[in-house]
Structure 1
Amino acid sequence: MTIETREFGLIDLDEARIVEFVQPMFGFEDRRRFALLTDPALGPHIGCLQSLETPELCFVLMDPSALRVPYAPSIPDEAARALGEGEYDCWVVTVLGADIQHSTVNLKSPVLVNWATGRGMQLILDQDYPVRCPLTGETEAGPC
């Protein structure tokens, strides 16, 4: 299928990359269908969560394993039930600043994707993670 995107223009999309959000991205409750796009030139740790309903809506995501901070989110049972059986990927929303020192990731509200069911969600963790952790992993007070 062909979709229109903000970052890449018109692209052919493998329908296996489509995710139906059972719990939407916060602030975008009326958008449920997204595609997770990756670019080999950027590497496997960066992705774009592209809305299929609104071409100009695209979130930059990062694989938290690429960060220099310890991150072990505890997923509530109800979230695991909503995503369905199988393993899922965990991504964090990235806010790009003018340079890397001003770019952050949201460790408090990860995006989870279960490729076996095609379901995704963004959730707020009970754990004490920052909403704005610098990509460098360091704040003036120390590590995130």
Structure 2
Amino acid sequence: MIDAETGEICKALVADSGIDRFLCKERGYRVGDQVRCEIKKPRNVKLHRLVHGLGKLVSQSVDKFAGMDAHSVIKRLQGDSGVCCTCESFDIPDLGRVTRSIPESLAFDEMPEERFREFWAGICQHLIKVYWPGLDEARIEEMVNLMPAEVA
């Protein structure tokens, strides 16, 4: 970035994708804000974008997810399938033992690459089993890749 006042070249924090822009907006970041952050290299960005593209595809193709944003779709699929989730159990008086599934964070700094690949495969298998029985993982990836590119 070039500082308009001094003409100096400066470093800048720039959202790289639609999900990054969504997260910045959700967190209330505005142009010109000063932020403090720990900088980390991301996992495989292509796979990360593929997962969020899958969320967009599912929201447009499966009635149950209509109107949901891509991130919400992915988290719902994760919870429904139990893929990359931890289980938590509670003893509730008069009901007994109740167990719930808690989706793990998909954030770059939270989930390692191997686990993220496991997540992708598991979500695809869930979609095949429940919504798209005629497809396989490769066809789902093709469908996501055919989606129009994000517009800023």
TM-score class normalised by the smaller sequence: under 0.3
Instruction: Select the structure that is richer in strand.
Output: 1
TM-score, length-normalised on structure 1? Answer: 0.26
Instruction: Select the structure that is richer in helix.
Output: 2
